[in-house]
Amino acid sequence: MRIPVRVLLFSLVAFAVLPLFAFGVLLLLQYAGSERDRAQATLETGARGVARSVDTEFETAIATLSALKHSSLLGNDNVAAFDERVHNTTAEAGRAFALYDAEGNRVVNSVPPPRRALPKLDLKALHASYNERGAYISDVLVDGGTGETYAFVGIPVTRDGRIRWVLATFLYSIDFAEVINTLGVPPDWIVSIVDPNGVQLRRSHLNEKFAGHHLVPALVRHMANGDRGFVVTNSLEGIPLISVVEYAQTSGWAAAVGLPVRQLEAPLRNSLVYLSITGVLVTVAALALAFLVARVLHRGFLALDAGVRRLDEGEVVEPAPSIIREVSDVNAAMVQVSRNLFERNRAMSDLTDSLENQVQERSADLVEETRRREESEQQLRQLQRIEAIGKLTGGIAHDFNNMLAVIIGGLSLTKRHLARGDAEVGKYIDSAMQGAESAANLTRRLLAFSRQQALSPQAVDCNRLINGMSDIFLHTIPEHIEIETVLAGGLWRTWIDMPGLENAILNLVVNGRDAMPGGGKLTIETCNAYLDADYAAENAEATAGQYVMIAITDTGTGIPPDVLDKVFEPFFTTKEPGQGTGLGLSQVHGFIKQSGGHVRIHSEAGYGTTVKLYLPRLDRPVSKEPPEVRRSAAAPLAHGHEKVLVVEDEEAVRHGTVAMLEELGYVVVEASGGAEALEALDREPDVALLITDVVMPGMNGRQLAAEATRRLPGLRVLYATGYTRNAIVHQGTLDPGVHLIAKPYTIETLAARVQEVLAED
């Protein structure tokens, strides 16, 4: 596309003028914004002043009533003398009073005609407006005699704990005229004094027309929501306003102040007019200058165009006369270029053909090489996935087969001994139980590694938790290993599952112990830490932020560099066969990542290892302090007598749970599904506890619990499951208020959990 030089020059003028104009507009907008902010600040200050003055009026009225309340005439029920006193007070202070008996009948009234007070009080309705100052303050009322708006203020006079009299006064619209007039509010601002429902008692403009009417709907909704800030709306007379509402603290009334929008727009509009006129004049002058320059340049460019045409045709370019020196220089250069152009063009043509052929051949080779490389990488990734799955499957199969061998062997021996009348089978049963518990622990570790366990986080003070684990450390660490704790002062709290964190720390302590067979030192350290964006960029699993850091350091054998990257893989272990499952560090890693934290391991062969756990900082207040971490011996088996409903679709699991509960003394009702359980609840309304599986066909456990507690509001619920999916766990965390017991469980665990749920307040 060819653009004339005139267009380029005119565009240059435009690009030169437009930024200046835009800068001027920006300054005007900033000026307008500052003016708007200043006006809004003034508006807000004025509204607060009106609101305080409204409170002053009501507080003055309440103070006057409080003084009259303690009159001895009321104490002696001398109504006639009290009537004379309040009439004298009305004459002196200009404020009218009324006295009502306990039934709401008016017995004293100093309100001068044509005004009149309420005919009779509804004390029950009036009590709804009783405020913290011990006074009744009504909404906006309309005097039946004059049509004037007013508010009723009353205080009760009690005797022996009962209301004997209600002493009242009245604040009329005219009483608030000075509130608006003496605060220095600009005369064109619209000020309204309103009750909590948005009804106007006094208005600065057209008071006779709008007093007793609601504010515009937008402001009424604003007040109903208790909102603050500015609202753009139209006044009742149709004037566009920027309004603000400030609430009076004593009375609960409010002041609505509106600033006409035209006040803010006028300075900006005038400045834009002046800026536009100036911009037009500057633009016209610049365009005229550009036109003159364009004529001179156009003649020179025509001379160059003629020379280029001759050069294109292979002719020798002759110099062309021009008043522009640069044009003459270009013409002279074209004369020399034209003499050599033909030979060079021919040589370049041959070279170009050769290069094009080479580029095409190399491009084809690169495409084929890229395709082969992508296929190889895809095959490698597939082989790595298959290898990882095979390693995980093999590890699980190996450990589970070992545990099943223990269980089956123990039960087989028990069966044979019992068949021939030999009751000495305790060691075989203990062996089977140990195998079953090992299988359950393996399942829990796999869930932790895969970040699928159900967590119940709480606010945790890690210093207190580590101090509370001191007894465990002493029983776990032999005497030839020195243990030291370095706990930071002012340590932040973290939001995490406390049993899971205890297990993670214990796992790392045991690993450190095993790495120091000949003795050494184990250090547990806490501190506040911050991971910055640079660290997060270098470590893909980390997120920048504030953390509570727990570091466990041993002086043991260390980890060789070639295996350091594999320590978090499941079933990977450097210990001798039979000395570990290889799931400890993978369980710790999965738990910390599921909790939103980060794990970093540092090790040097022959010098020791440090594992750092970064736990996310709790940055919000909690309703209560975390519980003390206490360790004690196993509690005795808890028995009960309550009625329990057990819901489980697996018959063998259900019968086992029922048998354990009956052994503990509970009255048990059982059901195989949700529908059957609801029928049982209708028959047995005295059920105290529902124990239900989570994953069941048809109605799941969460749906059953919701319907059951709707029918029996006091019913307690305990979920029993091996894998929760997402019915009661979301984002790896138990839903609030949910109680869970993980399958499989022993009678001791079941007894303790049932007792805990039944005893909960």
Over the Cα atoms of the chain, what is R_g? 44
pLDDT digits (tens, 9 = 90+) for 292-343: 766 666 666 666 676 677 666 666 666 666 666 666 667 667 666 766 676 6
* Mean pLDDT for the stretch of residues 20-28: 70
Q: Is 194 left (phi over 0), alpha (psi -120 to 50) or beta?
A: beta
Handedness of CA 721, 726, 729, 735 (dihedral sign): negative
Whole-number pLDDT of residue 24: 67
Would you state the structure tokens that stand for residue 316, as one six-digit string?
A: 């020798």
Question: Does residue 69 form part of some domain?
Answer: yes
Q: What is the mean pLDDT of the chain?
A: 76
pLDDT number for residue 634: 47
Whether residue 724 is predicted with pLDDT greater than 60 in this model: the reply is no
Which residues are 105's β-sheet partners?
120
Least confident of 124-138, 448-462, 574-588: 574-588
Predicted confidence at residue 442, as pLDDT, reads: 53
- Total domains in the fold of the chain: 3
- What confidence score (pLDDT) does residue 547 get? 93
| Chosen domain end from 117, 147, 175 | 175
Query: Are 603 and 467 contained in the same domain?
Result: yes
- In the structure encoding, which two tokens stand for residue 451, read together? 């970040």
Task: Look at 383 and 555; give whichever has higher pLDDT.
Answer: 555
CB 644 within 8 A of CB 669: yes
Note whether 587 and 668 are same-domain residues.
no
Same domain, 573 and 696: no
Same domain, 491 and 528: yes
Same domain for 597 and 536: yes
> Locate tokens 């003649």: which residue?
299
> Pick the residue with more confidence: 23 or 63?
63
* Res 753 pLDDT > 60: yes
Q: Is residue 27 part of a domain?
A: no
SS3 97: strand
Please write the tens of the pLDDT for every residue from 204-246: 888 888 888 999 898 888 888 888 888 888 888 888 988 889 8
Does residue 698 come out as left (phi exceeding 0), alpha (psi in the -120 to 50 range) or beta? left
- Chain segment 472-513, per-residue pLDDT in tens: 888 788 888 888 988 988 899 998 888 888 888 888 888 888
Cα gap 731→733, rounded to integer Å: 6
Pairing of strands 494-496, 520-531: unpaired
How does pLDDT run across 269-298, given as a tens digit for each residue? 666 677 677 767 777 776 677 667 666 666
Q: Which amino acid does the sequence have at 183? A: L
Query: Do both 458 and 605 map to the same domain?
Result: yes
| ∠ CA 70-76-77, rounded to 5° | 95
Average pLDDT over residues 28-43: 74
Last residue of a domain, one of 616, 635, 653: 616
Mean pLDDT along residues 382-388: 56
Query: What is the mean predicted confidence (pLDDT) over 705-711?
Result: 89
What confidence tens digit (pLDDT) does each residue in 429-453 have?
766 666 566 555 555 555 544 444 5
Task: Report residue 620 as tokens.
Answer: 């919000």
* pLDDT above 70 coverage of the chain, percent: 67
Which domain CATH number covers 101? 3.30.450.20
The predicted structure's pLDDT at residue 17: 65
pLDDT of amino acid 297: 65
The whole-number pLDDT of residue 645 equals 92
Q: Domain of residue 652: give its range.
A: 643-759
CATH number, domain of 662, equals 3.40.50.2300
CA distance 379 to 392: 20
pLDDT of amino acid 550 = 93
Q: State the pLDDT at residue 524.
A: 93
608/482 same-domain check: yes
Strands 716-721 and 740-742: parallel
Average pLDDT of the segment spanning 674-681? 90
> What are the structure tokens assigned to 71, written together?
């009159």
Q: Which residues of 35-59 are buried (b: 16+ CB within 10 A; e: fewer)?
A: bbeebbebbbbbbbbbbbbbbebbb
Which of 629, 657, 643, 671 has its CA nearest to residue 722? 657
pLDDT of 751 strictly over 50: yes
Residue 342: per-residue pLDDT: 61
Say if 255 falls within a structural domain.
Answer: no
Residue 396 confidence (pLDDT): 53
pLDDT for 590 beyond 50 = yes
**What token pair was written down for 166?**
């209600």
Q: What's the CATH code of the domain at 611?
A: 3.30.565.10
Query: How far is residue 741's CA from residue 57's CA, in Å, rounded to a whole number?
Result: 63
Selected residue with higher pLDDT from 1 and 465: 465
- Backbone φ/ψ region at 641: left (φ over 0), alpha (ψ -120 to 50), beta: alpha
pLDDT of 183:
61
125, 140, 175 — which closes off a domain?
Answer: 175
Q: Check: CB of residue 732 under 8 Å from CB of residue 594.
A: yes
Query: Looking at residue 489, what is its pLDDT?
Result: 87
User: Residue 535: which of 611, 598, 455 has the closest Cα?
Assistant: 598
Residues 704, 685: Cα–Cα separation, whole Å: 15
CB 62 within 8 A of CB 153: yes
719 and 738 in contact (C-beta within 8 Å)?
Answer: yes
654 plus 518 within the same structural domain:
no
Phi then psi dihedrals of residue 384, to 5 deg: -65, -40
Same domain, yes or no: 675 and 746: yes
d(CA 706, CA 674): 11
Residue 736 or residue 65, greater confidence: 65
Q: Are 142 and 212 in contact (CB under 8 A)?
A: yes
Tell me if 356 is assigned to some domain.
Answer: no
3 state DSSP class of 358: helix
CB-facing half-sphere around the CA of 98: CA atoms within 13 A: 23
In a domain, 540, yes or no: yes
Examine the domain organization and report whether 672 and 740 are in the same domain.
yes
Q: How many residues does the chain have?
A: 761
Tell me how far apart the alpha carbons of residues 645 and 705 are, in angstroms, rounded to a whole number.
11
| One-letter amino acid for residue 263 of the chain | Q
- The predicted structure's pLDDT at residue 548: 93
Average pLDDT on 384-406 reads 55
Residue 89 has pLDDT above 70, yes or no: yes
Q: Is residue 678 part of a domain?
A: yes
Determine the Cα–Cα distance for residues 197 and 252; give it in Å rounded to an integer: 10
> Can you point out the beta strands (E) in 555-698?
598-604, 608-616, 643-647, 667-671, 689-692
Report the candidate in 661, 652, 654, 660 with the shortest Cα–Cα distance to residue 676. 654
pLDDT for 695: 80
Helix (H/G/I), strand (E/B), else coil: 568 = coil
pTM exceeds 0.75 for this model = no
pLDDT at position 523 is 92
Which amino acid, 326?
A: E
Residue 721 lies in a domain: yes
583 and 668 together in one domain: no
Q: Who contacts 333 (Cβ-Cβ below 8 Å, separation ≥6)?
A: none
Q: Is pLDDT larger for residue 393 or for residue 743?
A: 743
* Strands across the sheet containing 240-247: 200-203, 190-194, 254-260, 240-247, 230-234
Shared domain for 588 and 711, answered yes or no, is no
Indicate the SS3 state at residue 575: coil
Q: Alpha-carbon distance 725 to 693, whole Å? A: 12
Alpha helices in 70-78 (DSSP H): 72-75
Range with the largest mean pLDDT of 471-485, 566-580, 712-726: 471-485
Write down the pLDDT at residue 630.
44
Q: Are 184 and 113 in contact (CB under 8 A)?
A: no
Q: Where are the beta strands (DSSP E) in 173-226?
A: 190-194, 200-203
Does a structural domain hold residue 668? yes
Give every CB contact of residue 567 below 8 A, 6+ residues apart in sequence.
Answer: 559, 585, 601
Nearest to 433 by CA among 452, 414, 413, 406: 406
pLDDT of residue 112: 75
Q: What is the pLDDT of residue 554?
A: 92
β-pair type (190-194, 689-692): unpaired
